[in-house]
Amino acid sequence: MKNPKFILLVIVLSQFCCTSLWFAGNAVINDLVIGFDLKASALGDLISSVQFGFIIGTLTFAILTIADRFSPSKVFFISAILGSLFNLATIWEANDLSSLLLFRFATGFFLAGIYPIGMKIVADYYKKGLGKSLGFLVGALALGTALPHLLKQTTGAYSWESVMILTSSLSF
């Protein structure tokens, strides 16, 4: 029989690592603007593109009933890999505003295969004790989204790209 505590630990750690992609771009937003010689007005667009990607991703996953038609664990896994690759793509030297917006949008899109799908996995495994299990998951989400800012502060001696590489690596 599967160990329910181990399963919850794996889901919570995975959620923590993967949701770090959400605010990775925000943590280094000023570096993105300076590094790619963008206008200050690009700040809002870059931040919004992740949220817009998440909204479109969530609608797409729901309309196509992805989590019901396919294994939620596999959807989570594939979304984590794709999200990490699109997040990592922001360090590409040839980026411009359009490509950065696309990569941040795609990161948000695949976060829809991580956060809501993680909740579905927990709900499937923990009919009893669901509230506590979801509490751990939401806590992991909050900590995971704060992680890029912590990384930015603690890796100050390194380039902004290191934050993107670390968060992508954790998600992968």
Do residues 74 and 129 touch, judged by C-beta distance below 8 A? no
74-98 tens-digit pLDDT? 999 999 999 999 999 999 999 999 9
Q: Note the pTM of the prediction, 2 decimals.
A: 0.91
Q: Most distant CA pair in the chain: distance in Å? A: 56
- Residues 46, 101 contacting (CB under 8 angstroms): yes
Q: According to the model, what pLDDT value does residue 1 have?
A: 47
Report how far residue 95's alpha carbon sits from residue 107's, in angstroms, rounded to the nearest whole number. 15
**CA dihedral for 126, 129, 130, 136, sign (positive or negative):** negative
The predicted model gives 31-36 an average pLDDT of: 91
Q: How confident is the model at residue 149 (pLDDT cuts 50, 70, 90)?
A: confident
Question: What's the mean pLDDT in 147-155?
Answer: 83
Q: Which residue has the higher pLDDT, 157 or 164?
A: 164
Write down the domain spans for the chain. 20-171
Condensed to tens digits (0 to 9), the pLDDT of residues 123-140 reads: 888 888 888 888 988 898
pLDDT of residue 2: 67
CATH class of 20-171: mainly alpha
